């Protein structure tokens, strides 16, 4: 047994477990946003593409795992999921999806006002005002969940037979 001090970083607090009322409020907000997106006409695959793109930008492995599986259940293809980070460089995404993805990126990087202006201009060509609002709300809520998981260091569950 070594007498050296343990140099591993301390375990992080799972803030969702430490403050369950706050986390529950976030879950409720997310459920409201999901319903808002549906009412606005954003289909489930578009919502999951937004969730995934934001999670890619934020480096949230836990949310990437959760939303990849959700996207597949919603009918998304593995091909499009594999190239999502390069969505601008392919024609595999519809104008509707591209507008939602641009809004998601602009929401995730709020200091990039040029991206916000460009995203809004593109969105106004492809989405209704309700869809623009819903896409931004989806991005806002997944950004919040990303921060919960990143700051808590939520582990990705081990692979199981899928």
**Within-domain flag for 24:** no
The count of domains in the chain is 1
How high is the pLDDT of residue 11?
83
**Within-domain flag for 157:** no
Task: Kindly report, residue by residue over 74-100, the tens digit of the pLDDT.
Answer: 999 999 999 999 999 999 999 999 999
> How many CA atoms does the CB half-sphere of 71 hold within 13 Å?
23
Which residues span the domain enclosing 111? Answer: 43-152
Q: Can you list the residues of the chain whose pLDDT is less than 50?
A: none
How high is the pLDDT of residue 159?
85
**Within-domain flag for 21:** no
**Within-domain flag for 69:** yes
Contacts of 47 (CB under 8 A, 6+ apart): 34, 37, 138
> How many CA atoms does the CB half-sphere of 121 hold within 13 Å?
6
**Within-domain flag for 5:** no
CATH classification at residue 135: 1.20.1290.10
d(CA 130, CA 31) in angstroms, rounded, equals 17
**Within-domain flag for 22:** no
How high is the pLDDT of residue 99?
98
Contacts of 16 (CB under 8 A, 6+ apart): 23, 148, 152
Is residue 153 classed as helix, strand or coil in its secondary structure?
A: coil
């Amino acid at each position: 047994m070594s007498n050296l001090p343990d140099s591993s970083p301390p375990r992080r607090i799972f803030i969702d477990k430490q403050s369950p009322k706050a986390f529950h409020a976030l879950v409720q907000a997310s459920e409201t946003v999901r319903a808002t997106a549906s009412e606005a006409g954003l289909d489930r695959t578009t919502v999951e593409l937004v969730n995934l793109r934001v999670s890619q930008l934020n480096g949230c492995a836990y949310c990437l795992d959760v939303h990849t599986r959700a996207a597949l259940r919603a009918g998304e293809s593995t091909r499009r999921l594999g190239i999502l980070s390069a969505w601008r460089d392919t024609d595999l995404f519809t104008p509707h999806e591209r507008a939602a993805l641009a809004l998601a990126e602009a929401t995730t990087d709020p200091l990039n006002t040029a991206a916000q202006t460009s995203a809004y201009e593109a969105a106004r060509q492809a989405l209704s005002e309700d869809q623009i609002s819903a896409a931004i709300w989806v991005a806002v809520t997944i950004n919040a969940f990303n921060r919960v998981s990143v700051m808590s260091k939520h582990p990705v569950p081990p692979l199981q037979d899928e």
